[in-house]
Structure 1
Amino acid sequence: MSYLPIKKLFGSPRRISIFLFVLVLLGIQGYISIKSGSVLFLDAPRCTPKVDRNLTFGINLPVDNRPPIITELASAMRHSWKAYTNYAWGMDEVKVISRVGTHWMDASLTMIDSLDTLWIFNMTEEFNRCRDWITTQVNFDVDRDNSNVFESTIRLLGGLLSAFHLSGENVFLEKAKLIGSKLIVAFNSPSGLPYTNINFQTLHASLPSNGRIVALSEVATLQLEFNELAMLLQNASIARPAANVYRILDKVNKLSGLISSDLNMYRPEYSLPSTITLGARGDSYYEYLLKVWIQTGKKSDWLRNEYLTAVNGMREKLIRKSVPNGLTFVGELHGSRFSTKMDHLVCFLPATLAYGYLHGMPADHLELAMNLAETCFHMYNDTKTGLSPEIVHFNLANSDKSDFYIMRLDSFNLLRPEAIESFFYLYQITKNPKYQEWGKQIFRAFNTYSRVEPAGYAPLLNVQSEVPSYKDKMESFWIAETLKYFLLLFDDSLATKYDLRKWVFNSEAHPFPLHSSGTISVIQDLYNF
């Protein structure tokens, strides 16, 4: 641009100097915004979602017409929520024995994680109180180095996005944009894999003190949430760093489609398949391969093929039958050594396999899902309390003993959701009433052994003792996932609203709608490689 047009616009040289100075300042601010990731969220065009106005608050049956189990669940939800509101309001988690709240990320974790469950349970007043608190008090700006990126994404970002879809309240999208702009900074690493932790105030991202290793599940269970935010804002840049993780994992050594649960953060391509598990640190990578494929319109051959190859790899390398009763279970590989250890977390797999079948995956996936779900039921049914331990080990040799045994240090129960999640999926697909019967039995065991007074539910330390002793923390996933899946399992009208052909649930049970092709198109190309 020549000097003459500028002079005509601004007049004196002094005004021109001021104009140029402002331009420099804007340039510096733009650089800082790009480095922090926040520029991706500033001027993004917004896609107005189609909020389904039929998704009114749940449990609309008159009290007199409710099945007893629905009434019992409503009581359990209110009893659980009472513990949070009475002892820990605004805090992250609640200790139901000590009756105090605790901070982890200073982000009102249980509150945000519970929003859609409050909605589905028709707890209107409680939902609105949370909304008002979040509007004025939650800014994700605390100076704390241990805010976990994975947990923040599935619980906080996922919870806010789901609450936005269900209620249409714009504050939840604004808060989702805010935390998304901070979490995305974690992907600024030499390899492109996200760091484990982030400080929400300083935006310093870091690894745990053990150095160079990150968990497969933690780097590969972020895509649904960032995709959803990107589609709402119609800005592919928001989803690109999370999608790029798949490009990185494409180069990692695999064993029949299975990846080590521990990855080298800085040189992931040199990670060897040393520990392969569908339990802790590995599980939700496989879940999100399928769910991201469905969320993005089933167009990515890479996602579909990776998922199918992984399921075949599970059959070949990990799935066995126990002795004496032939329960189908999923073991682990430690190098070349097979272990019969199965985490309760693995009980997510029947739900994933069934969801895949519903969306066009092979019919034998559903058969495998049903067999594994039966094993998960036995993990509850065959203990003294009727509640599953965290880990079991299966018997493979001829024996007159039971199909699995429980090590003393593994005998605790954390109120986990995975088995109930799978029963919900399988009931919706097969309509076999046994899944509701199994769920009813397990819920009543929770009521017998984990319900504490005057409020809350507590994890059991030993499922083989009928005299309960407790861990002093009610995990946020008890409300966010376990109670939600219980209700969806038993309330057919609610399950119809959240039709699994039209919704995808993230790893924390937060439902996102499956969008039209026009909305999806903004992110589709990110997964074509």
Structure 2
Amino acid sequence: MPNFLRNPTSTFKLLAAFLVISFYLILGGFSPIGPRIRKNPPFGAHIQFEGWKNNSGAADEAKADQVANAMRYTFWKYREYAWGYDGIKPVSGGNKTSRNGWGAFIVDTTTTLALMGLWDELALEVDHIIDSIDFNIAHGLVDPFETTIRYLGALVSLTDLLDAGIVPSSAINSTKRDAILAQAVTLANKLAPCFDSPTGMIWPRVNFTTDLGVPDPPLVYKLDPLKPRYKNPSIGPARAGSNILENRVLSRLTNNQVYLSNATRAWAPLVWSSYITSWPGMVDAPFDIVTGEPVGRQRHWDAGHDSYYEYLLKIALLAPKDRYTQTYKNKWLAAADSLRYRIASRSAPSPKHDTQHLFIGKQNDNWFINEQSHLACFAAGNIMLGGRYFDRPDFISLGKALLEACHHTYASTPTHIGPGIWSWIPKFGYDNATFQPSTARQEDELKEHGFWVADAKYRLRPEYVESLFYAYRITGEQRYRDWAWDAFVAFETHCKTPYGYAGLRDVMRKPRSVDLEEEALAQNEGEGWWIDESESFWGAETLKYLWLIFADKEVGSLDRWVYSTEGHPFRMIR
């Protein structure tokens, strides 16, 4: 028998100590103050703004309904003219197979319909996913990055939403829930050969017929003649490092750790790089898939690199107790500091306006590239999310400044929609900058706005409104709702077509007519205002984030859900 059970005095002392400690912990657990409670409340992370007053943060139902109506319009036009195809051609009414023919729009938009409560539309999509999609067969080579974020992410997220009761069982029953998860498992298993490289980094493509990972096809280089070729197949940080969230959730749902293990190994050469990099936290890229060696010296948070840094933070939020979470936290913090001090670039004031804006540039070897794409606007929200999570007010201020710069690009155009790429004159360090205005129009834009447009297209991209969502939920500031409404009105005015919503060829010009049918008749290649394409992220992200901004603050709360790079919510693990 243990000694403390033989000795009544020892037993009493032990019991008394236990009661005192328990009482202290209980009081601490319910205390309204203190860093432990602030960072680890029992329901998840502590991200969202707390100071909502006078019904602020409640739903703006009129605006939320209008965004939901845009989603309905998008869905039913696709249902009528392109059902089962990856996307619709919103100007001509045709269809498009661009994501292996599994119906990318159908799968990718399920979580948006679920959050909006559009049960009839969701039921049609779920039945198609279960009955009509065979993930064992693919049209063409499969891109594991795009397939993971659009297809696999949607399937596991929808399962999470069902398990959390967001979708009522009367809309989607448990049998269909299991069938959705089974489809996710089938797809993940077919994607498994992408991890079969010497380093574990993913192959850029998978051949579903031979079940082998393969390099990018020659067509990729033909379409982009400036894309460099290396001795071995190469890959960028975003493609290599943007599958851990989806696979971590799949491992939880299936209790099979192989998915998380593969995803962890896939980005290990980035997270635990054995090569010296110039800037803490940021990688040199692209990478040789065979050796893991950086074969380029590109460093930035823009297209091709973006979601690797995004996922360093979000995996820490999703699963804070996982084995490598502290490493991911440290890497993200270092990378965010490098963004702040190395590539964030304040613009010189324009001759007409004494205003400056903080844009995000890029570095290629010793050259600073004074150019930002619309995709990089995601960084504003990501930096604010990390600022809140790590209790770094300086990061929240940085995120606000970056978001104001993206807002400036929207507010400066005649359509009030931001361009695809823009450049500026850096206030400091211009000697190493790459670009200068090269046309009379760019000179005029620089004088008027403090930046000039390098790519005037808008392709229904979500990153600006995504960051508005994070900004509003984290700060509670009404101006972010106002900016989101301005963007939605602009999309409704200029992007709505007879068959859905289309991107714009030139955000610096307004269409000839506001009549949809009249403008569609005027549309022809090279002259029309619209781009005859509508990527699935329009429904999966752009409309989702707009709707969430106007929904009640508790819907899709950042205290409980982590959103993937494709806008799919995953439940936090605590």
TM class, shorter-length: 0.7 to 0.9
Q: Matches of 2:250 and 2:398 in 1, distance apart? A: 33
Does residue 206 of structure 1 match 2:266?
Answer: no
Does residue 346 of structure 1 match 2:393?
Answer: no
Q: Matches of 2:74 and 2:285 in 1, distance apart? A: 33
Superposition deviation, residue 298 in structure 1: 5.3
**Which residue number in structure 1 is paired with residue 91 of structure 2?**
97
Does residue 277 of structure 1 match 2:296?
Answer: no
**Any conservation in 1 of the 2:136–2:190 contact (CA below 8 Å)?**
no
**Any conservation in 2 of the 1:95–1:102 contact (CA below 8 Å)?**
yes
**Amino acid in structure 2 at the alignment position of 1:406:** V
**Which residue number in structure 1 is paired with residue 517 of structure 2?**
none
2:343 is aligned, of 318, 326, 332, to 318
Superposition deviation, residue 247 in structure 1: 2.4
Q: Matches of 1:515 and 1:177 in 2, distance apart? A: 20
1:255 is aligned, of 273, 278, 298, to 278
Does residue 470 of structure 1 match 2:514?
Answer: no
Gaps of 5+ in 2: 1-42, 44-58, 164-176, 222-228, 350-354, 429-445, 512-527
Deviations 1:438-478 (A, max 9, x none): 0000100001100011x300010000111261111111000
**Which residue number in structure 2 is paired with residue 234 of structure 1?**
255
**Amino acid in structure 1 at the alignment position of 2:295:** S
May I ask how many residue pairs the two structures share in their alignment? 447
Superposition deviation, residue 143 in structure 1: 4.3
Superposition deviation, residue 199 in structure 1: 2.7
Structure 2 counterparts to residues 68-467 of structure 1, below 5 A: 68-104=62-98, 105-168=100-163, 169-208=177-216, 209=218, 210=221, 212-249=233-270, 250-251=272-273, 252-256=275-279, 257-272=281-296, 274-297=297-320, 300-324=325-349, 325-396=355-426, 400-407=447-454, 410-453=455-498, 455-467=499-511
1:239 partner SS: helix
Q: Matches of 1:512 and 1:255 in 2, distance apart? A: 34
1:158 partner SS: helix
**Any conservation in 1 of the 2:378–2:466 contact (CA below 8 Å)?**
yes
**Any conservation in 1 of the 2:136–2:187 contact (CA below 8 Å)?**
no
**Any conservation in 1 of the 2:346–2:427 contact (CA below 8 Å)?**
no
Superposition deviation, residue 397 in structure 1: 5.3
**Any conservation in 2 of the 1:359–1:501 contact (CA below 8 Å)?**
no
Residues 253 and 140 of structure 1: is their aligned pair in 2 closer, same or farther, counting only changes over 3 Å?
farther
Does residue 489 of structure 1 match 2:489?
Answer: no
Q: Matches of 1:418 and 1:515 in 2, distance apart? A: 26
1:268 partner SS: coil
1:329 partner SS: strand
Q: Matches of 1:349 and 1:422 in 2, distance apart? A: 8
Q: Matches of 1:114 and 1:331 in 2, distance apart? A: 32
TM-score, normalised to structure 2, is 0.75
Superposition deviation, residue 314 in structure 1: 1.1
Q: Matches of 1:507 and 1:220 in 2, distance apart? A: 11
Superposition deviation, residue 66 in structure 1: 6.3
Q: Matches of 2:102 and 2:138 in 1, distance apart? A: 11
Residues 270 and 380 of structure 1: is their aligned pair in 2 closer, same or farther, counting only changes over 3 Å?
closer
**Which residue number in structure 1 is paired with residue 224 of structure 2?**
none
- Return the structure number with greater relative CO, CA threshold 8 A, min gap 6: 2
Deviations 1:317-351 (A, max 9, x none): 10111121221111011211111100111111111
Q: Matches of 1:397 and 1:259 in 2, distance apart? A: 26
**Which residue number in structure 2 is paired with residue 10 of structure 1?**
none
Q: Matches of 1:103 and 1:92 in 2, distance apart? A: 5
Superposition deviation, residue 297 in structure 1: 1.1
**Amino acid in structure 1 at the alignment position of 2:502:** A
Q: Matches of 2:329 and 2:254 in 1, distance apart? A: 26
1:275 partner SS: strand
1:376 partner SS: helix
Superposition deviation, residue 352 in structure 1: 0.9
2:501 partner SS: coil
Superposition deviation, residue 200 in structure 1: 2.9
2:91 partner SS: coil
**Any conservation in 1 of the 2:468–2:481 contact (CA below 8 Å)?**
yes
**Which residue number in structure 2 is paired with residue 29 of structure 1?**
none
Superposition deviation, residue 167 in structure 1: 2.3
**Amino acid in structure 2 at the alignment position of 1:138:** I
**Any conservation in 2 of the 1:253–1:269 contact (CA below 8 Å)?**
no
**Any conservation in 1 of the 2:300–2:339 contact (CA below 8 Å)?**
no
**Any conservation in 2 of the 1:142–1:199 contact (CA below 8 Å)?**
no
Residues 171 and 284 of structure 1: is their aligned pair in 2 closer, same or farther, counting only changes over 3 Å?
same
1:464 partner SS: coil
Gaps of 5+ in 1: 1-49, 51-64, 517-529
Give the stretch that moved more between structures: 305-314 or 246-255. 246-255
**Any conservation in 1 of the 2:195–2:266 contact (CA below 8 Å)?**
no
**Any conservation in 2 of the 1:329–1:342 contact (CA below 8 Å)?**
yes
Superposition deviation, residue 260 in structure 1: 2.8
